[in-house]
Amino acid sequence: MKKPSANRKTSTPAKAKPNGLTPLLTEVRQLVHSARRNISTIVDTFQVMTNFEIGRRIVEHEQKGAKRAAYGAELLKELSTRLTEEFGKGFSKANLEYMRRFYLEWESRVLQIAQQPAGQSLELPIAQKPSGQLIPAKIRQQPVGKFAVSQISEQPIRKSPFTLSWSHYVLLLTVKDPDERSFYEIEATNSGWSVPELKRQKASCLYERLALSRDKEGIRKLAREGQVIVRPEDLLKEPLVLEFLGLDDKASYSENDLEQAIINRLEHFLLELGKGFLFEARQKRFTFDEDHYFVDLVFYNRLLRCYVIIDLKLDKLTHQDLGQMQMYVNYYDREVKLPEENPTIGLLLCKSAKKTIVELTLPQGTNIHAKEYNLYLPSKELLKQKLDEWSAAVTP
């Protein structure tokens, strides 16, 4: 018998490749990403709850000991040393002080939940998500779509009062006003703000800027419910803060420079505009009577279900600017928007908005608004002063 030549290639059967793998891969990928997000959220929740309980123990121990500030400081220092030796990072004296303050500030909410009968729902001042719930020991399998996933057991569910990470709460502890702190907690939860985003919104005085465009009941609602978008006025802030554009307030720049800077930092601009905004176009052209007109920026708000068109002005606002915006809004309402959509909102962003000109030029109840913008972070003290003056002026 002849042996096969060493140079001769022996054919091997080709491996069969499964067909239609993409849908399965997509579903599995979504499951893995979802599981990782949920695990991360659960870990964050238990870390926050653990820190709350550590704060409780510290306060209760202090109440049994000497009632002197020096005693409390020495207690935290010694506790920090021993915990760090045993568990490593995370137990500095400063962090233990945060835990102590965290317990004192959030104690009433947790106590309210603890007194609630198990299985009975409780309206919290913040929107709760399933990932923020405590998970009992037992779990059962429940089909969801095509897959069976682990769900919470038949045991009554008691919602966690905490929906953010420990880093979020440390930042919230720097807010002294309880109403303002509650507002930022609600918004960070509902909008999914990262810690840097929360820090930026706090630094830009979002709470005060929204409060300045509301009546007293509206301000109270901010603390209870956050920014709820029902009317066009609910979107408005005074002023808009565009410090992220990197433009020098004293330098010379054109409207085109401002527009281009917004496009370059569109993600930041959408965050500053607020909830529900989708970007559609820049320099949107429309033509009638053989004349061309251009709208600087066009957005759509999915919460209000309407177009929001923005014109940028560097100088003080004129009645001609308001008339032009009225024309833009009329065009969008008559030619662009669908019958089931709400009327278009026109927003003029300018360095100086004269309220008298706006009030005399536009009819009451109009959907056109003029708002000033700043290229630097506002002074919190100044905004607070303006808010106090406004509150005093409207008090009967």
User: Does residue 208 lie within any of the structural domains?
Assistant: yes
Q: What is the pLDDT of residue 126?
A: 40
* Tokens at 353, concatenated: 């908005």
Q: Are residues 256 and 373 in the same domain?
A: yes
Q: What is the pLDDT of residue 380?
A: 78
Q: What is the pLDDT of residue 132?
A: 34
Q: Are residues 365 and 286 in the same domain?
A: yes
Number of compact structural domains in the chain: 3
Q: What is the pLDDT of residue 330?
A: 93
Q: Are residues 294 and 212 in the same domain?
A: no
Q: Report the alpha-carbon distance of residue 142 to residue 348 in Å, rounded.
A: 52
- CATH number, domain at 280? 3.40.1350.10
Q: Report the alpha-carbon distance of residue 8 to residue 338 in Å, rounded.
A: 71
Q: Are residues 315 and 344 in the same domain?
A: yes
Omega of the bond leading into 239 within 30 degrees of 0 (cis):
yes
User: Does residue 18 lie within any of the structural domains?
Assistant: no
Q: Are residues 249 and 311 in the same domain?
A: yes
User: Does residue 170 lie within any of the structural domains?
Assistant: no
User: Does residue 316 lie within any of the structural domains?
Assistant: yes
Q: Report the alpha-carbon distance of residue 228 to residue 219 in Å, rounded.
A: 11
**Beta strands at 306-316 and 345-352: parallel, antiparallel or unpaired:** parallel
* Helix/strand/coil for 349: strand
Closest by Cα among 305, 372, 296 to 345: 305
Please work out, in degrees rounded to the nearest 5, the angle formed at the alpha carbon of residue 210 by the alpha carbons of 98 and 299: 115
Dihedral sign from CA coordinates of 351, 355, 357, 363:
positive
Q: Report the alpha-carbon distance of residue 276 to residue 255 in Å, rounded.
A: 25
User: Does residue 307 lie within any of the structural domains?
Assistant: yes
> How crowded is residue 358: how many other Cβ atoms within 10 Å of its Cβ?
18
Domain of 91? 31-113+127-152
* Chunked mean pLDDT (size 10), the chain, 396 residues: 53 59 74 71 83 90 67 82 90 92 88 58 38 34 34 41 92 93 93 92 90 81 86 82 83 86 92 92 88 93 94 85 91 94 93 75 81 83 74 59
Q: Are residues 227 and 146 in the same domain?
A: no
Q: Are residues 352 and 250 in the same domain?
A: yes
User: Does residue 346 lie within any of the structural domains?
Assistant: yes
Q: What is the pLDDT of residue 165?
A: 92
Q: Are residues 292 and 320 in the same domain?
A: yes
Q: Are residues 346 and 269 in the same domain?
A: yes
In this structure, which amino acid lies at residue 323? G
Q: What is the pLDDT of residue 299?
A: 96
Q: Are residues 40 and 147 in the same domain?
A: yes
Residue labelled with tokens 């069969």:
16
* Helix/strand/coil for 45: helix
Q: Are residues 308 and 279 in the same domain?
A: yes
Q: Report the alpha-carbon distance of residue 97 to residue 87 in Å, rounded.
A: 17
Q: Are residues 51 and 86 in the same domain?
A: yes
User: Does residue 186 lie within any of the structural domains?
Assistant: yes
Closest by Cα among 187, 192, 189 to 206: 187
User: Does residue 201 lie within any of the structural domains?
Assistant: yes
Q: Report the alpha-carbon distance of residue 365 to residue 28 in Å, rounded.
A: 51
Question: For the whole model, what pTM was predicted?
Answer: 0.68
